[in-house]
């Protein structure tokens, strides 16, 4: 299993960043550069995304174990793990299953709970799969073709970052079939025994509904040292919607780690 990663910075801490559904490690680049004096940052394409290998099934524990193997081999553990959305669930499972590898945890706008918001991607996946790749003349043409199915300009362009041209042919980087067929699992959270006692920062977007008040108890039980912060101006893509506040929050958290 090969994970594609990019490393930025030369600070004393090691930080691994995990992106959300249909993202790539490079989505964290701006944040990583902003904390590069505090940490060596590793931007990971999670399995089935970007330039990393594909799996046969979608299972959060398998994903966490794959990332844990990479962390064990490539970083001076223990490491700070930062995860957004789907990547946040992978990060939580990693910390719970491999606590010896994790110095601290940052979970961005996701909970250890079932979250129906992932099912919203059903129509998006259908839109992407409707694109006839053999007819694409340019990325701009693909954008025009998807405009009716995915009218949100920002979301559509985010998704189109996954379109690549290799040797004259267009293809999708993520495993669209597997991810589209497992949205229920991606939105889920299987019960897990144990807890992670390290520092945990839980960052919510004030305009997002991914974190709900009823999720707080489960979060405290699994992560007793959790501290929650809400960035009021941000939606679900917290680090993109309010990058200045997110970077300031992350820098403060990292600076407090021994």
pLDDT-based confidence at 1, cuts 50/70/90? confident
User: Cβ(192)–Cβ(96) under 8 Å?
Assistant: yes
Whether 85 is a known active-site residue: answer: yes
Does position 125 have pLDDT exceeding 70, yes or no?
Answer: yes
Q: Which residue has the tokens 């970083």?
A: 75
> Above pLDDT 90, what percent of the chain?
90
Looking at 10, 152, 177, 209, which residue is catalytic?
Answer: 177
Q: What is the CATH number of domain 5-115+188-255?
A: 3.40.50.1820
Q: Which residue has the tokens 């509904």?
A: 209
Phi, psi of 214 (to 5 degrees): -70, -10
Whether 209 is a known active-site residue: answer: no
Every domain of the chain with CATH number 3.40.50.1820 lies at: 5-115+188-255
Looking at 52, 236, 241, 242, which residue is catalytic?
Answer: 236
CA distances (Å), origin 181, targets 16, 48, 77, 119: 27, 13, 35, 10
Q: What pLDDT sits at residue 166? A: 86
User: Cβ(22)–Cβ(48) under 8 Å?
Assistant: no
Q: Each residue of 164-200: pLDDT tens digit? A: 998 888 999 999 999 999 999 999 999 999 999 999 9
> Above pLDDT 70, what percent of the chain?
100
The b/e string for 159-195 (b: 16+ C-beta within 10 A; e otherwise) is bbebbeeeeeebebbbbbeebbebbeebbbbeeeeee
Report CA 102 to chain centroid distance, whole Å.
Answer: 17
User: Cβ(206)–Cβ(230) under 8 Å?
Assistant: yes
Looking at 19, 84, 85, 98, which residue is catalytic?
Answer: 85
Q: What pLDDT sits at residue 117? A: 76
Longest dimension (CA), the chain: 54
| Tokens matching residue 147 | 């405009």
Q: Each residue of 60-70: pLDDT tens digit? A: 999 999 999 99
Q: In 10 A of CB 206, how many CB atoms?
A: 14
User: Where is average pLDDT lowest: 51-55, 131-135, 227-231?
Assistant: 131-135
**Dihedral over Cα of 24, 29, 35, 39: its sign:** positive
Whether 236 is a known active-site residue: answer: yes
Does position 236 have pLDDT exceeding 90, yes or no?
Answer: yes
Does position 258 have pLDDT exceeding 70, yes or no?
Answer: no
Report the distance separating Cα 108 and Cα 3, nearest Å. 21
Nearest residue to 8 (alpha-carbon basis) of 53, 44, 46, 42? 42
């Amino acid at each position: 299993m090969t994970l594609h990663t990019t490393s930025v910075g030369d600070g004393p801490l090691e930080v691994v960043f995990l992106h959300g559904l249909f993202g790539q490690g490079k989505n964290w680049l701006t944040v990583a550069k902003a904390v590069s004096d505090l940490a060596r940052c590793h931007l990971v394409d999670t399995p089935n995304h970007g330039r990393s290998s594909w799996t046969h099934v979608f299972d959060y524990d398998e994903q966490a174990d794959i990332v844990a193997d990479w962390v064990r081999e490539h970083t001076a553990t223990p490491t700070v793990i930062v995860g957004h959305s789907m990547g946040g669930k992978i990060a939580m499972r990693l910390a719970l299953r491999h606590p010896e590898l994790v110095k601290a945890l940052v979970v961005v706008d996701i909970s250890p709970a079932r979250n129906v918001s992932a099912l919203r991607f059903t129509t998006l996946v259908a839109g992407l799969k409707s694109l006839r790749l053999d007819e694409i003349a340019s990325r701009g043409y693909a954008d025009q073709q998807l405009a009716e199915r995915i009218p949100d300009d920002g979301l559509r362009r985010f998704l189109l970052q996954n379109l690549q041209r290799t040797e004259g042919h267009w293809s999708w980087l993520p495993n669209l079939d597997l991810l589209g067929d497992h949205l229920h699992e991606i939105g889920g959270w299987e019960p897990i025994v144990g807890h992670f006692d390290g520092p945990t920062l839980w960052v919510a977007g004030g305009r997002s509904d991914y974190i709900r008040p009823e999720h707080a108890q489960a979060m405290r039980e699994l992560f007793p040292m959790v501290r929650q912060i809400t960035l009021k101006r941000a939606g679900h893509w917290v680090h993109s919607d309010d990058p200045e506040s997110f970077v300031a929050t992350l820098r403060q958290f990292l600076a407090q780690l021994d």
